Amino acid sequence: MVLDSVKKIVAERLDLPAEEITEDKTFAELGIDSLDTVELLMDLEDEIGMEIQLEEKLDTIGELVRFIESRQAEA
């Protein structure tokens, strides 16, 4: 579910087909810079209904998904 939400938001923001967004894609490969990441996280917070505070740098879609899933498990 988290992966689907991330793919949907990234696809909409970047105007890409969701099929092109895979867990192993880096944000750099997708053309996402630090400002885009902040905006993406804000959209994700709205979509999944939880605050996302990054304590570390995440490089791939999969790392972001696993980070969110671990925070959901803690809640």
- Residue of 33, 36, 46, 59 with catalytic role: 33
Sequence-distant (≥ 6) Cβ neighbours of residue 73 within 8 angstroms: none
pTM for this structure?
A: 0.86
Percent of the chain having pLDDT more than 70? 100
Range of the domain at 10: 2-74
Q: Is 33 a catalytic residue?
A: yes
pLDDT tier at 57 (50, 70, 90 boundaries)? Answer: confident
21 has pLDDT over 90: yes
- Looking at the structure of the chain, the number of domains it has is 1
44 has pLDDT over 80: yes
Mean pLDDT value across residues 36-49: 89
Buried b (16+ CB within 10 A) or exposed e, 10-23: bbeeeeeeeeebee
CATH number at residue 39: 1.10.1200.10
